[in-house]
Structure 1
């Protein structure tokens, strides 16, 4: 029960090849790569959507001379 024999590994290898096969395994790896690529694309689109809007600065009020203000009040 300690170590696995060569026969055990041969049986496991044959079962893996029967279940997955050469074509199925490569198809699965291609699907995983497509999934990772679409995940990265989605994350980059999400980052673009979270950028804060540009702030528009209001014009600074001008300083009015004190003489002009007193003329308007009286």
Structure 2
């Protein structure tokens, strides 16, 4: 179910967004890294069907996961 915010943004649950864009993920291995204001995060990935698993990561684990996804060069200054 989509939720329309007053600022014009549209919010929808992550499983619904993934299902809508499933063709882009070639039927699997979709994930999301949701970063919290304190630097911790939740690493979410499909668990089969419409379910998702979420693993809570502390700050250091979040940085390690970001490096794994984007590489160390993503943290270089301009």
TM-score by length of 1: 0.17
* Structure of higher CA gyration radius: 1
More helix by share: 1
More strand by share: 2
